[in-house]
Amino acid sequence: MTDPRRSLPSVAQLARELVASGAAPESLCTVVARAVLTNARQRIAAGDAPIERAALSADAQQALVALLRPGLRSVINASGVIIQTNLGRAPLSAAALQAMADVGGGYSNLEYDLEAGVRGTRGGRVRELFQQLTGAEDALVVNNNAAAIYLTLGALANGRAVIVSRGQAVEIGGGFRIPDVLRQSGARLVEVGTTNRTYARDYAEAIDAQTALIMRVHASNFRLVGFVHEATLAELVAVARAHRVLLLDDLGSGTLLPTAPYGLPAEPTVGACVAAGADLVAFSGDKLLGGPQAGVIVGSAASVGILRRHPLMRALRVDKTTLAALEATLLTYVRGRAIEELPVWRMLAAPAALLQQRATAIAAAIGPPACVVPSEGAVGGGALPGATLPGYAVALPGGSARAARLRHSTPPVVARIVDGRLLLDMRSVLPEHDAALIDVLRADA
């Protein structure tokens, strides 16, 4: 009996068909053809029926299309989590996107002083804006907040001790552990207090000649409740000054605006932490700030100056498009337009009644069995752990099967499943995405 694998075309034959489509060069078509034929041979060897020639050609075309399709795609976030780390955290404002396009599409004065006609300083304008918005003497931007902490510890505490509350020696997303970061930076961790209760006196009693700084760490993804106590920032500032050591305040997300007016727990603003006397405050650019991925360090000119001159700074600096987006985001704050123009704050501030209207319109557009139900959205991104915002969602039957189909739609839609129903939470869906969401849901009906 003839081996059915002998009836398969050669790699060159299948590649020529792909080349004829004009979608890719011959070298790539050859790679795809070889992979498809290898898979076909394996299936036949495993006992599958011989593959029709037309089906083989279709498989090759689909494989080529999949290979050429961008892997990073825009999605509609209907999960109800506003700062969804897995979905790219904060969406950028129109002004930030335009700034990135303007700067990224050609040359820029990234490190050139147009006034003097000589080499300039990278990020000088962003530095000025952070000084204005936070009241800090100086500011520095690196590629994320983990880098900000690592740089600070390496530059200011290498070979020396850093005091951290035992309840703040935490692990956040991606296995990022404070004790590990301290160890890698060359600093020595000194834990004080207990998991649930740490007092200012615990810090004071641990300080010795080897102490470089006190570090306060934001509990970004959990809450301790019940019999708990933490030293306040004012208390830590007093201890640090009395013993002449530095105080590093790791805010995690970090916000320039108060959160309480929007029904959320009060989160300390960056400006308040600076005013309280923290020597250095570190936070993220792509969470509550609403900008691109970045780590920001603001504080005293002396301390930030040391970080700026550190050799590691060159490895951690951000590129021109990040600076452009960050500058545009900060200018939105300067103009007092953050609530209206930054997507994160638009979603945080959206009243529940407006979300109900949008959910009702979407449910009506796709028809039964869609209905509108109350829901609870979350800030996400390690900001305000456990805090939720009341809102509304479009509920559909179908559970996990429908969720999987929606993830493969164009654009993909990411929702959540509650009690077997699919919920499309309007808290995290930008209003300008409503029409596209309706189209996707109609196509799936």
Per-residue confidence (pLDDT) for residue 387, from 0 to 100: 81
At 384, the amino acid letter reads L
- Report the relative pairing of strands 388-396 and 112-113 from DSSP bridges: unpaired
Instruction: Please choose, from the candidates 356, 383, 386, 385, the residue with its C-alpha nearest in 3D space to the C-alpha of residue 371.
Output: 356
The domains of the chain, with CATH numbers, are: 4-68 (no CATH), 76-85+344-444 (3.90.1150.180), 94-341 (3.40.640.10)
Residue 73 banded pLDDT, cuts 50, 70, 90 = very high
3-state helix, strand, coil in the chain (%, to 5): 45, 20, 35
Once rounded to an integer, what is the mean pLDDT over residues 126-142? 98
pLDDT > 70 fraction of the chain, expressed in percent and rounded: 96
Answer yes or no: pTM beyond 0.85. Answer: yes
Per-residue confidence (pLDDT) for residue 86, from 0 to 100: 92
161-165 β-sheet, strand order? 138-142, 295-299, 280-284, 246-252, 211-217, 161-165, 188-192
Per-residue confidence (pLDDT) for residue 161, from 0 to 100: 95
Q: Is 38 exposed, middle or buried (0-12, 13-18, 19+ CB in 10 A)?
A: exposed
Per-residue confidence (pLDDT) for residue 272, from 0 to 100: 96
Per-residue confidence (pLDDT) for residue 349, from 0 to 100: 96
- Strands annotated E in 182-322: 188-192, 211-217, 246-252, 280-284, 295-299
Per-residue confidence (pLDDT) for residue 40, from 0 to 100: 87
Greatest CA span in the chain, whole angstroms? Answer: 91
Once rounded to an integer, what is the mean pLDDT over residues 12-39? 91
Per residue in 366-416, pLDDT (tens digit) is: 999 999 999 999 998 777 777 889 999 999 998 899 999 999 999 999 999
Q: What is the DSSP string of 103-150?
A: HHTS---TTEETTTTEE--TTHHHHHHHHHHH--SEEEEESSHHHHHH
Query: Cβ(44)–Cβ(50) under 8 Å?
Result: yes
Better-scored residue on pLDDT, 302 or 50? 302
Mapped onto helix, strand or coil, the DSSP state of residue 273 is: helix
pLDDT tops 80 at residue 222: no
Per-residue confidence (pLDDT) for residue 401, from 0 to 100: 93
Per-residue confidence (pLDDT) for residue 172, from 0 to 100: 67
| C-beta atoms surrounding 200 within 10 Å | 18
**Contacting residues for 296 by C-beta, under 8 A, at least 6 apart:** 130, 139, 140, 141, 142, 145, 148, 254, 282, 283, 284, 285, 289
pLDDT tops 60 at residue 202: yes
Residue 178 banded pLDDT, cuts 50, 70, 90 = confident
Once rounded to an integer, what is the mean pLDDT over residues 25-35? 92
pLDDT > 90 fraction of the chain, expressed in percent and rounded: 75
Instruction: Please choose, from the candidates 328, 331, 284, the residue with its C-alpha nearest in 3D space to the C-alpha of residue 89.
Output: 284
Q: What is the distance in angstroms between the CA of the first residue and the CA of the last residue of the chain? A: 48
Residue 183 banded pLDDT, cuts 50, 70, 90 = confident
